[in-house]
Amino acid sequence: MYNFHTYYITDEEPCLLNVDVADIQPSYPEQVKLSIGLHPWKVTEDWRDEVKTIRDAAQRTDVWAIGECGLDKVKGVELSVQLEAFRAHIALAEELQKPMLIHCVRAFDELLMLRRELEATCRQEGREPQPWVIHGFRGKPEQAKQVMTKGMLLSFGHQYNLETLRFVFTSSRPFYLETDDSRLSVLHIYEQVARHLDVDVSRLSRLCDPRKTLFARQNP
């Protein structure tokens, strides 16, 4: 059962481990792949130095995603600085051709604006933008619809809007499941979601595995 976003290696399940670039280890168990980026809460005026370090580390083949990064209007430095740092991550994801794992709190208008910008640039250059996955999504179905029509995907933790989860499930777009910063086992999340959607855990496990779809390029 794939754990799309975690801070801990708690079991043998495959996962995308979010690591601080300062703590990155030379190697990890085979089932562990990495996401690295500057969390919006950690963005300071010196974000450029941090992004430089992230850029070097993100070349590693076991780094599968850029993030988590993003925008937060409730916590962190002022939004203009967060936007600059986030734009640098978008550029990095495009340069390295790796998907983005996004944290977004009350900044969906800005997020949609940036996605439109990227899509316009990519259209001019005749290429596809990298997929963006919003993690820990708790929004209502309307908001899910809005971001999904812009080519973004969603990942759910143990708290979510049940109507949204059902909507995404029936939309036939991929979605992912995660433990985030909790110490819950990923099995717990899959069991809860399977119950809510009335499907088998094994079916859910196939459905929410990003390795053949989102990470097809990273996982040949």
Identity of the residue, 134 or 168, whose beta carbon is nearer to Zn ion in the bound complex? 134
Contacts of 7 (CB under 8 A, 6+ apart): 17, 18, 180, 181
Identity of the residue, 14 or 40, whose beta carbon is nearer to Zn ion in the bound complex? 40
Cβ pair 68, 37 in contact under 8 A: yes
Q: How far is the CB of 26 from Zn ion (least distance, A)?
A: 26
Using the rule CB under 5 A, which residue among 103, 118, 133, 193 binds Zn ion? 103
Q: How far is the CB of 5 from Zn ion (least distance, A)?
A: 8
Concatenated DSSP letters for 161-220? -HHHHHHHHHHT--EEE--BTS---HHHHHHHHHHHHT--HHHHHHHT-TTTTTTTTT--
Identity of the residue, 10 or 205, whose beta carbon is nearer to Zn ion in the bound complex? 10
Q: How far is the CB of 31 from Zn ion (least distance, A)?
A: 22
Name the residue with tokens 């855990």. 201
Stretch touching Zn ion by CB under 5 A, among 16-24, 71-79, 102-110, 157-165:
102-110
Contacts of 21 (CB under 8 A, 6+ apart): 36, 50, 53, 54, 57
Q: Which residue is nearest to Zn ion (CB)?
A: 103
Spell out where 3-146 has E strands. 3-6, 15-18, 32-36, 63-72, 100-105, 132-134
Total binding residues for Zn ion by CB under 5 A?
A: 1
Q: How far is the CB of 127 from Zn ion (least distance, A)?
A: 28
| Residues 160-189, interacting with Zn ion (CB under 5 A) | none
Q: How far is the CB of 208 from Zn ion (least distance, A)?
A: 18
Identity of the residue, 103 or 115, whose beta carbon is nearer to Zn ion in the bound complex? 103
Cβ pair 43, 76 in contact under 8 A: yes
Stretch touching Zn ion by CB under 5 A, among 50-58, 101-109, 143-151, 160-168:
101-109
Which strand (E) or helix (H) includes residue 155?
Answer: strand 152-156
Greatest Cα pair distance in the chain: 48
Stretch touching Zn ion by CB under 5 A, among 25-33, 99-107, 122-130, 150-158:
99-107
Q: How far is the CB of 74 from Zn ion (least distance, A)?
A: 11
Identity of the residue, 55 or 103, whose beta carbon is nearer to Zn ion in the bound complex? 103
Q: Is residue 132 helix, strand or coil?
A: strand
Q: How far is the CB of 204 from Zn ion (least distance, A)?
A: 22
Residues of this chain that interact with Zn ion (CB under 5 A) are 103
